[in-house]
Homo-oligomer: A and B are copies of this chain.
C-alpha cells in the first residue's frame, strides 16, 4: 500500500497552469517595462496589481503514515505548502529556504509550475534536505513524530535576495523566531507580516519568540499552542493575551473545529469544512497560512471584513490540502473549485433571524 495513493494520482510536477491563469485572469500582472535603469521599475512602481508575497520556511522530504496509506520522501515543508496555497491568489510567490542536492527535481518543478519564484531557494548540492517522518493515529487528531533530521536546515540563515526586499506581504513559516526576526530585518517597509510558530519555539525560545511577536501583524497558531503561549485555557482570553504581546491579529486554528480570528474589536468564528475523508493532515496549517496571506495580498485589504474572508480562504485551501497525500491536494485546483468551497463554508455557518 506504501506510496500507492501518492504515485497513483497526478504527480505534483505535472501540475497544469490552467487554473492558475484563470484565477489571476481578472488581475493580470502588468508587464515589466524597464523605464528606469538606475532603479528597478518594481522598486518605483510596484507594478503588480496585487501585493507581492514572500514566504520563508522549510522545504522538506516527508515520510507520512496515515490509516489510509503511506508515502515516503514526499515533497513537503512549511514554505512548500504556504507557497503552493498562496499561488492560487497571487503571482509570483517568492520563496526563501534551503534544500539539499537530494531534493527532487519534481519538487522544484511543482513550485515553478505554480509560478513560484525560487530565486531565494538555496541549494546545498552536497547536503541533505530536511526530513520529517510521522504517523497519524486513527482519529487523525494525534500524530507521533517518528523522525526529524534537520540536515541542511540546521544551518539555515535566510538571505533575502535584493528583489525580494520590498515584498509587501511576508509569511514567516514555522522556523526559529531568531531567524524570523533576521528575515524581517532584511525587508523594507512591509505592509503585512504573518507569522506561524509551534510548541517547540514557545517552550525553547520563549523570549526570542516574544521579541519577534512585537514586529508582526498577525500570528497563526493552534489551540494548544495558544494556551501554552498565553498560560490561559480559555481561547478567547488566550487570544487577547497574545494580542497584547504584539500582533494585532491572532488566528487560533482548532483543527476539526474551525478557527478563531481575534482583532481588537472583533471575534470571528470560522467553521471547519465538514471533511469526511481526510487522507493526510500534514501541511493543513501551512496551507491555511498560504490561503490567508494569498487572499490578503491579492486584495490589498486588511480590513476586519476582509480578514474574515482570508480566514475562510485559508480554511478552504487547508481543506483541499488534506484530501490527498502531501502537496498533491494543492496541485490541480481550479478557480471554480476554490470559489465553490468558499461558498460551502458560507452555507455551512449561515443562519437568518426569524
Contact = CB atoms under 8 A, between A and B. Distances in A.
Contacts of A351: 268, 270, 305, 308-309, 312, 346
Given A269-B271, A351-B312, A353-B309, A278 B234 contact: yes
A349 interface: yes
A268 B347 CA distance: 8
Given A140-B233, A258-B269, A353 B342 contact: yes
A312 to B, nearest CB: 6
Contact of A268 (B236, B254, B349, B354): B349
Interface in A308-351: 308-309, 312, 342-343, 346, 348-351
Interface string A227-256: 000000111110000000000000000101
Nearest to A351: B308
A207 interface: no
Contacts of A272: 269
Contacts of A5: none
A106 B256 CA distance: 43
25 contacts: A140-B234, A234-B256, A234-B275, A234-B278, A236-B274, A237-B276, A254-B257, A257-B257, A258-B271, A268-B351, A269-B271, A269-B272, A269-B348, A270-B349, A271-B271, A271-B349, A305-B351, A308-B351, A309-B352, A309-B353, A309-B354, A343-B353, A346-B351, A349-B349, A350-B350
Interface of A: 138-141, 233-237, 254, 256-258, 260, 267-272, 274-276, 278, 305, 308-309, 312, 342-343, 346, 348-354
